[in-house]
Structure 1
Amino acid sequence: MAVAKEIDASAGVPEFYGKELRYKREKAGLTLERLAAGGFCSVSLLSEIERGNRRMPPELAVYVDRALDTDGFFARRCEDVSEARRRGHAGYFERVLEAEKQALTIEQWSPGVVPGLLQTEAYMRALFQGECLRELPEETNEKVNARLTRAQIFEDDHKVPEYWAILPEVLLRTPTLPPQQMAEQLDHIAALIERGRIFVQIVAWNAGPHPLMQSNIMVLDFADAPPLSYMEGQHHGNTVDDPGLVKQYRRSYDLLRAAALPLGASLAMIKAAAEEYRNGAQPVRLDRRNLA
């Protein structure tokens, strides 16, 4: 009989919550299968909750409290877990934050900035500080740490989603950071590609009109749930799970992929841009005098 992996309850609120759930369930003499059947949920969902990887739905928490005679403990603590999970992230991002950990595939088009999962710490700080000029250092640190934790998704050897990003060439040429740090940001992306963790395609600057020119998008697929898509603005995010709409966004993404450069050429372009930054080359800039 397999021995359940020990949970580090000190890792955070979700892990503490999950460990307590396992303790109470085993104390009551219930298997995962039996508790899941009574709560009309999957065994895999309950197992993920116990490991601190998934949030317990409020209606399931009410059932668990009743089944394990825990006097409302899990229902009362649901919001604590939810708040801990989204700390450092915008509230509207919570659903995607959980979905990323369960996704089989993640496909992303990011025309404005390097996607959060691919950012170096220096790049993150530059974005946060540029957006919130009067933010306290501890607030920025919380956001940076939260995003760095998200990126650990590529370090789990047991469950790494297939991640596919499409980026515009202009993103490689936009000096968001000093040259050496820009080189490190592009080196980081190239290293993830070469380790087989991600796929990246570049849309050349002269590719002409192409799908999703006015949108960013993330499409996520799962083994045991319908796909969903996510779009984000400056101060809001929108998660779409309507099958018809998700299908349309998926088609647009596939057409965009067809317009992008092949994987090998894209990697070569990323590495060449990194080398240019490293050698002190600066992207061509428009002279203000030539602007109408």
Structure 2
Amino acid sequence: MLSNIFQRDGPMAYVPTIRGRRLARELRQAREGLGLTGELAAQRLGWNQAKISRIETAKMRATVGEVMELCEAYKIAGSRREELITLAREAKKQGWWHSYLSVLKSGFGDYLEFESEADQYRSHDVHLIPGLFQTEAYARAVFRTSTALTTPEEIDRAVEARLARQKRLTSSERPLRVSQIIEEGALRRVIGTYRTMREQLRHLIELAQLPNVEVQIASYRSTNHVAFDGPFTLLHFADYPDVLYVEHFMGCQYYEKPEETAHGSVVLERLRRSALNPSDSIALIRQVIEEMPDEPEGRPGDDGFPA
């Protein structure tokens, strides 16, 4: 996925966790279940209506005390009350990526929060080997083309974040189930050097053979391939609605309405059916490696850029 727009100086924006988003949704549904408007709920609590809105849209974190007050106002008791209080306690825990927000694309912290809690990842990528599969050298070559990351230290941090993200692929505790479709052009587009590309494609083959990872290549020769303009990912959760993440030049967008995520699922299924099966996909990756020419003389540096 492209990573051109990064968060810069200034205070870090609040990035709600999945638990925080669940809590916000549950509180909104509890209020609506009583037939209360946001204004009436605010009057009951002696709060500003804007506070109710910000809590229910996960734009601010509700404290344990505030959740207790809301439970009292909404007549929520017993195990349901304890569940909401537990969500409030756990919602404040920050993910591993929080310390990397300054070198991440604007809004990508939200995506990493979603991905860290997802059970299943289904995605289509057009131009690059997806970040979840990138080697250190390939990721570094990608980041060195960025106009936003201007120092070696920033690039190092961005690479660290990308590699840390990949740990769930091989986690023994809760591995992420992955179904990835990659356009053939991403295999043949040389990022860095041919050496970098060979290493990257071999790494892709290794990951594709993991039991929780399926990789399919959308071949140039496909006669029924679904055209699509850019990368997108559909994340599935055990206890949260699906999230559709779409990346574009100016940033990214998230879609959570059932009709939106259902459409994403249909498109992914059509892409999957038109792509090569996993076995033939690995064969094509190996073919691309074999067809790759030797490194031309005079190419600067191992990653294709001046040191």
- Superposed displacement of residue 185, structure 1: 0.1
Between the aligned partners of 2:148 and 2:101, the Cα distance in structure 1 is 22
Match of 2:61 in 1: 58
Match of 2:169 in 1: 154
**Quick one: distance in 1 between partners of 2:187 and 2:283?**
12
Change over 3 Å in CA distance of 1:91–1:64 after alignment to 2: farther
Following the alignment from structure 1 to structure 2, what is the Cα–Cα distance between the partners of residues 224 and 134?
A: 36
Letter in 2 for 1:58: R
Report the AA paired with residue 253 of structure 2. Answer: N
Query: 1:184 touches 1:274 (CA, 8 Å); kept in 2?
Result: no
In the alignment, does 2:213 pair up with 1:171?
no
Aligned equivalents of 1:91, 1:133: Cα separation in 2 = 11
2:291 aligned with 1:280, yes or no? no
What corresponds to 1:139 in structure 2?
154
Residue 131 of structure 1 aligns to a residue whose secondary structure is: coil
Contact kept, 8 Å, 2:193 with 2:295, in 1: the verdict is no
Deviation at 1:271, TM superposition (A): 1.9
Structure 1 residues 1-292: aligned runs within 5 Å: 58-60=61-63, 62-63=65-66, 83-84=98-99, 86-132=101-147, 135-208=150-223, 210-277=225-292, 280=294
1:89-121 deviation digits (Å, cap 9, x = unpaired) = 223112210111211110010001111110011
Q: CA deviation at 1:280?
A: 2.3
5+ residue gaps, structure 1? 1-35, 41-54, 67-73, 283-292
Residues 87, 142 of structure 1: 8 Å contact kept: no
For 1:280, the aligned partner's letter is: D
| Deviation at residue 281 of structure 1 after TM alignment | 8.4
In structure 2, the CA distance between the partners of 1:95 and 1:134, relative to structure 1 (3 Å rule), is: closer
Partners of 2:260 and 2:182 lie apart in 1 by 22
Task: Tell whether the 8 Å contact from 2:100 to 2:161 is kept in structure 1 after alignment.
Answer: no
Amino acid of the residue matched to residue 103 of structure 1?
A
Q: Taking structure 1 as reference, are residues 240 and 147 closer, same or farther at Cα in structure 2, changes over 3 Å only?
A: same
CA distance in 2, matches of 1:204, 1:164: 16
Contact 1:227 1:241 in 2 (8 A): yes
The structural deviation recorded for 1:256 is 0.7
1:191/1:134 CA distance change after superposition, 3 Å? closer
% identical aligned pairs: 25
What stretches of structure 2 of length at least 5 have no aligned partner?
1-22, 28-57, 70-87, 297-307
Of stretches 211-220 and 105-114 in structure 1, the one that deviates more from structure 2 is: 211-220
Shift of 1:238: 0.4
The AA in structure 2 aligned to 1:92 is G
What TM-score do you get using the length of structure 2 for normalisation?
0.64
Q: Aligned letter for 2:246?
A: M
> 1:120 touches 1:188 (CA, 8 Å); kept in 2?
yes
Q: What is the alpha-carbon distance in structure 1 between the residues aligned to residue 183 and residue 228 of structure 2?
A: 10
> Which amino acid counterpart does residue 204 of structure 2 have in structure 1?
I
TM-score (ref. length: structure 1): 0.67
CA distance in 2, matches of 1:110, 1:192: 16
Q: Which moved more, 1:201-210 or 1:123-132?
A: 201-210
Question: What secondary structure, in the 3-state scheme, does the structure 1 residue paired with 2:196 have?
Answer: helix
In the comparison of the two structures, how many residue pairs are matched? 223
